[in-house]
């Protein structure tokens, strides 16, 4: 059995909550697309149960057991996820539209029958493993010149550049690139790189994000929509001449954000009741996916969202606890990376639906409808629980 049973039960509870709201929040979408009444619920129930089984199965394995050449169980699983997902992201660009449909001008999902797979979700877990495994061998805590650090990490920049091209350019998914960039910075820092290197990479990352935004018209429109919503407050603290220069007057406030904020406000303190939300009835699209927190806030209110947030924080705490108490540096960095992915995804989505930051299209971990996100995270959690047996959690 795995060491951290509390993490297992907390994840299972969050998955169960996601299954319940996949039924409640998808009511209008089911009618609009003429699906069976329990279409989304049944699919998410199957994914949720499969995800819990994956966590349980992987967690029972011995991470240190050598099973292939010199590779341990933990390494075999990690390398398989990394290379298979990376290969799929390349191959899917050459597959016909019958298998990889074009959605929003990009190929993001592989569809076989009634099953859809998003390789990028699994790549994030594989990427974390590869960085943890490789950084442990390449980076130490000895002080080095900035030039030497760049030489050590240059191959990773090449790999990351390839991933950025596949995800941000071909799949037009900037949100996932932001997550990967931040995870790369976090793991490189905890692996032993200097603060100066961290700051340099941060500046370069910001420049690349800005270039990625201005290179695509739809990203410019999305940023303008966010700016219109927040500009009055921001510009009020700036000098009048600068404020007038930065003001945008010919862009409309974003439809989705307006209804998202209204849904949250309508929920009040205790919510309107499970299943009684109104903004999910055609006003707020994608409410069971990207805007699931807004839909949940309307139905179970501030108290319900507070409870879910506490559960999410508790899960993140348990993962970081495994990381901090793992003597094996690969295990330490891997758990840290998985916890960082969950943290960043939750914050980016929560900030996006409340207009604190622009919408990135990032799913809420374990709550948003979608099999790939849930299953990929379950694989990551299973690996964290697997290595928790080797950590001192007493």
What pLDDT is recorded for position 144? 65
Give the pLDDT of residue 15.
96
Q: What is the mean pLDDT of residues 100-127?
A: 85
pLDDT for the residue 302: 94
Average pLDDT over residues 202-212: 75
Do 291 and 280 form a contact (C-beta atoms < 8 A)? no
Considering only CA atoms, give the Rg of the chain: 22
For residue 241, give every residue at least 6 positions away whose Cβ sits within 8 Å of its Cβ, in sequence order, or none: none
The whole-number average pLDDT for the span 109-121 is: 85
Segment 230-249, tens digit of pLDDT: 666 676 777 777 767 677 76
CA–CA dist 98, 115 (Å, integer):
13
Mean pLDDT of 364-368: 93
Q: How far is C-alpha 263 from the geometric centre of its chain's CA atoms?
A: 23
Q: What is the mean pLDDT of residues 348-364?
A: 85
pLDDT at 199: 76
pLDDT at 243: 66
Give the model's pLDDT for residue 84: 95
Query: DSSP H helical segments within the chain, as ranges?
Result: 5-24, 27-32, 39-59, 73-91, 119-138, 146-164, 174-191, 195-214, 217-235, 240-246, 255-267, 292-324, 329-353, 371-388
Cα–Cα nearest to 357, from 211, 174, 106: 174
The whole-angstrom separation of Cα 81 and Cα 340 is 18
Write the Ramachandran bin of 263: left for phi over 0, alpha for psi from -120 to 50, otherwise beta. alpha
Q: For residue 142, give the DSSP letter.
A: S
pLDDT at 345 over 70: yes
CA distance 386 to 379: 10
pLDDT of residue 233: 66
Give percent of the chain with pLDDT exceeding 70. Answer: 91
What whole-number distance in Å separates Cα of residue 61 and Cα of residue 226? 46
Q: Is the pLDDT of residue 218 over 70?
A: no
Poorest-pLDDT segment among 35-44, 345-354, 355-364: 355-364
Distance CA 342, CA 15 (A): 14
What's this model's pTM, rounded to 2 decimal places? 0.89
pLDDT at 264: 92
Q: What is the mean pLDDT of the chain?
A: 85
Cβ burial of 47 (10 Å; 0-12, 13-18, 19+) is buried
- 194 close to 146: Cβ distance less than 8 angstroms: yes
Q: Give the per-residue pLDDT at 79.
A: 95
Per mean pLDDT, which range of 45-59, 275-289, 292-306, 334-348 is the poorest?
Answer: 275-289
pLDDT above 90: percentage of residues in the chain? 42
User: What is the residue whose two structure tokens read 């209804």?
Assistant: 259
Average pLDDT value for residue range 60-74: 89
pLDDT tens string 258-306:
888 889 999 899 999 998 888 888 888 778 888 999 999 999 999 999 9
132-135 contacts, C-beta under 8 A, 24 or more apart:
132/187, 132/329, 132/330, 132/331, 132/332, 132/333, 132/334, 132/336, 132/337, 133/75, 133/78, 133/330, 133/334, 135/187, 135/188, 135/191, 135/192, 135/333
Give the per-residue pLDDT at 288. Answer: 84
Query: Where does residue 328 rank: exposed (0-12), middle (13-18), buried (19+ CB within 10 A)?
Result: middle
């Amino acid at each position: 059995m795995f060491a951290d049973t509390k993490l297992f039960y907390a994840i299972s509870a969050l998955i169960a909550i996601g299954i319940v709201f996949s039924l409640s929040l998808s009511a209008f979408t089911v009618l609009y697309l003429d699906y069976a009444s329990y279409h989304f619920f049944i699919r998410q129930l199957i994914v949720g149960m499969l995800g819990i089984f994956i966590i349980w199965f992987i967690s029972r394995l011995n991470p240190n057991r050598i099973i292939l050449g010199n590779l341990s169980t933990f390494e075999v699983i990690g390398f398989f996820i990394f290379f298979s997902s990376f290969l799929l992201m390349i191959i899917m660009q050459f597959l016909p539209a019958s298998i990889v449909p074009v959605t929003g001008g990009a190929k993001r999902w592989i569809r076989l029958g009634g099953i859809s797979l998003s390789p990028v979700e699994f790549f994030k877990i594989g990427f974390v493993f590869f960085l943890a495994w490789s950084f442990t061998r390449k980076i130490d805590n000895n002080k080095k010149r900035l030039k030497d650090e760049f030489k050590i990490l240059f191959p990773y920049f090449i790999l990351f550049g390839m991933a950025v091209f596949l995800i941000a350019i071909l799949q037009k998914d900037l949100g996932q690139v932001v997550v990967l960039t931040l995870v790369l910075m976090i793991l490189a820092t905890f692996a032993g790189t200097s603060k100066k290197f961290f700051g340099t990479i941060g500046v370069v990352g910001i420049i690349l994000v800005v270039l990625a935004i201005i290179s695509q018209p739809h990203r410019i429109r999305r940023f303008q929509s966010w700016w219109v919503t927040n500009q009055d407050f921001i510009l009020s603290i700036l000098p009048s001449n600068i404020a007038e220069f930065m003001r945008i007057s010919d862009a409309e406030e974003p439809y989705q954000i307006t209804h998202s904020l209204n849904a949250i406000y309508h929920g009040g303190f205790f919510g309107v009741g499970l299943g009684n939300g109104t903004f999910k009835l055609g006003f707020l699209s994608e409410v069971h996916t990207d805007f699931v927190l807004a839909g949940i806030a309307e139905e179970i209110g501030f108290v319900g969202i507070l409870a879910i947030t506490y559960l999410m924080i508790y899960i993140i705490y348990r993962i970081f606890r495994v990381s901090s108490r793992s003597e094996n540096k690969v295990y330490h960095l891997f758990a840290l990376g998985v916890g960082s992915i969950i943290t960043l995804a939750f914050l980016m989505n929560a900030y996006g639906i409340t207009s604190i930051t622009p919408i990135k299209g990032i799913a809420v971990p374990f709550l948003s409808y979608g099999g790939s996100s849930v299953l990929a995270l379950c694989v990551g959690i299973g690996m964290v629980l697997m290595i928790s047996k080797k950590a001192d959690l007493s």
